[in-house]
Amino acid sequence: MTQSVNGAAAPRAQQPSLPFWQVWNVSLGFLGVQFGFSLQNANASRILSDLGADLHSLSLFWIVAPLMGLIVQPIVGSASDRTWSRFGRRNPYILFGAIAAALGMAFMPNAGIVVALVAPILFGGVMLALMDAAFNVTMQPFRALVADMVPSEQRTLGYSIQSLLINIGAIFGSMLPFILTNVIGLENTARAGEVAPSVIWAFYIGATVLLGSVLWTVVRTKEYPPEQYNAYKGLDAEQLQKEREQKGTLLQRLGGFFRLMLSMPRTMRQLALVQFFSWFALFIMWVYTTPAITQHVWGVEAKWFDPAYLETVNEIPTYIAAAKGAAGDWVGIIFAAYSLFAALFSIVLARVAQLLGRRLTYSLSLALGGLGYIGFLLFQGGEPTEVNLLITQVSVPSGALGLLLPMIGVGIAWAAILAMPYAILSDTLPADKTGVYMGIFNFTIAAPQIVSALVAGLILKSVFDNQAIYIIVLAGVSMLLGAVSVFFVRETVESETELRAGTTA
């Protein structure tokens, strides 16, 4: 197969297969990135609620996450496509993003200490934005790094390993506040305007793991030099150099970027519909699982999430604070559970996709996730039940224990979402535009989350009367629609001429 940036044929050298552990090293940093993401996903709503956010506005705070992805990933993707340095092509961006994310993780849970300078809820929101921007700076080059370093025949393996490592990080990141409370003995309740000590220390540890794992990937992964990379991808080095020298005006570069968007491969456009329904549902889960199970399983009334009501009481009753703390910790457990199930499914995902085909595997996985969300309704309250988690023993309502069952389906869906779109997409992208197209593909992740952020809180308040369990059911319906939409995706590789006609228009 040949490829050139100007339509002429260029010889392509055979890219060597990588040993298993080198494929592993390429993606290891994702473990730390997802460790941090999972701490954020399981605890940001808890932190923001403790700092004074009301229930239906939580999704508006969370809008910074997809917005940062929407802005940052295409810029970083395009920049890393054009970067060649002695430190590598993607590695400098990966390391810089990790350092900035670690700083955000250290500062966000300490918002209460700056009350004399700025409102804690405002500071917390700013730190959430910083973390998300930095996570995206790190995340996008990681996706492109796999496409750069791993040959086509190993791509499904590469993204499956990536999915496995993401979920290992997610398991420990999600469980960490629970472990710090129930094993180490740190306090898990918070006074008004402050964050629980167990959450603060979890974020410190998460920042350390993030930096350590990213450093491992950066040090152990030697990116191909330009000449070797161009030979493996069949790129015309002279033409590439001319393109890099033609900087153009900002307006011209924006025009080129939007032409790339309009000429995106057909498969990417078809996957966008699947991504919309999938990520609309995931966003709801991350934002509203904590209040949903606090209300539905622990029996805490919605008024205890209303800042206006809280201002009318002198102090939050001890049993309410304890229930909210216990529910918040249990969210970490069930999030760790779905990550564990996702990690286990990731091990066999490539094999299942070979047997059933990528599309059917993807669709069935999303369907199980949708049924899992809807299944939350079945588990309400119940008698206190002793649960042995090996590291400790706790007492939770029986309904909380039952939530582990629907998390099997959620975990299978999550594993597929992390791997299958990229496995389907990667072979359809021109090699010299992989980074920017992966960034553009992030639009299909960010846009549904922005829509969810804008409408989910309104739906929760106006339609469901702040009963958060029903917004989780809505997430299930959305995931089922995603499962159906997979069958509209066609795994056809467009010709190089087609792709080039669009990117050079």
Q: Three-state SS string across 111-170, please?
A: HHHHCCCCCHHHHHHHHHHHHHHHHHHHHHHHHHHHHHHCCHHHHHHHHHHHHHHHHHHH
Does the pLDDT at position 447 exceed 90? Answer: no
pLDDT at position 362, please? 93
Rounded Cα gap, residues 248 and 434, in angstroms: 21
Rounded Cα gap, residues 428 and 276, in angstroms: 20
Residue 368 token pair:
């199980």
In this prediction the pTM is 0.72
Does the pLDDT at position 407 exceed 90? Answer: yes
- DSSP per residue over 329-382, as a string? HHHHHHHHHHHHHHHHHHHHHHHHHHHH-HHHHHHHHHHHHHHHHHGGGG----
Sequence-separated (6 or more) residues with CB below 8 Å from residue 223 = 88, 89, 90, 91, 145, 148, 149, 229
Rounded Cα gap, residues 305 and 300, in angstroms: 9
State how far Cα 380 lies from the chain centre: 28
Taking Cα atoms as reference points, which of 377, 399, 50, 397 lies closest to residue 195? 50
Which residues share a beta bridge with 394?
387
Report whether 464 contacts 395 (CB < 8 A).
no
Sequence-separated (6 or more) residues with CB below 8 Å from residue 467 = 295, 296, 302, 460
Per-residue pLDDT, averaged over 403-423, amounts to 91
Q: How confident is residue 321, by pLDDT bands cut at 50, 70 and 90?
A: confident
Q: What is the pLDDT of residues 35-78, one digit of tens each?
A: 988 888 777 777 777 776 777 677 777 777 777 777 776 677 77
Q: Give whichever of 185-189, 196-200, 238-242, 413-417 has the largest mean pLDDT.
A: 413-417
Q: Name the strand (E) or helix (H) holding 384.
A: strand 384-388
Per-residue pLDDT, averaged over 77-89, amounts to 74
Rounded Cα gap, residues 109 and 207, in angstroms: 12
Q: What is the pLDDT of residues 284-306, one digit of tens each?
A: 998 899 999 999 999 888 887 77
Residue 504 token pair:
């050079």
pLDDT at position 298, please? 92
What does the angle CA 200 – CA 207 – CA 341 come to, to the nearest 5 degrees? 90
Start-to-end CA distance of the chain, whole Å, equals: 23
Pairing of strands 384-388, 393-397: antiparallel
HSE toward the beta carbon, residue 109, CA cutoff 13 A: 24
Q: How many beta carbons lie within 10 A of that of residue 10, not counting itself?
A: 17
Does the pLDDT at position 279 exceed 60? Answer: yes
Residue 313 token pair:
């009481």
Does the pLDDT at position 1 exceed 80? Answer: no
Does the pLDDT at position 5 exceed 60? Answer: no
Q: Where is pLDDT greater, at 188 or 96? A: 96
* 17, 116, 175 from 38: Cα distances, Å: 32, 30, 9
Burial of 257 (0-12, 13-18, 19+ CB in 10 A): middle
Q: Give whichever of 101-115, 231-245, 333-347, 413-427 has the largest mean pLDDT.
A: 333-347
Does the pLDDT at position 409 exceed 90? Answer: yes
Rounded Cα gap, residues 400 and 376, in angstroms: 10
Does the pLDDT at position 24 exceed 50? Answer: yes
Q: How many beta carbons lie within 10 A of that of residue 492, not counting itself?
A: 11
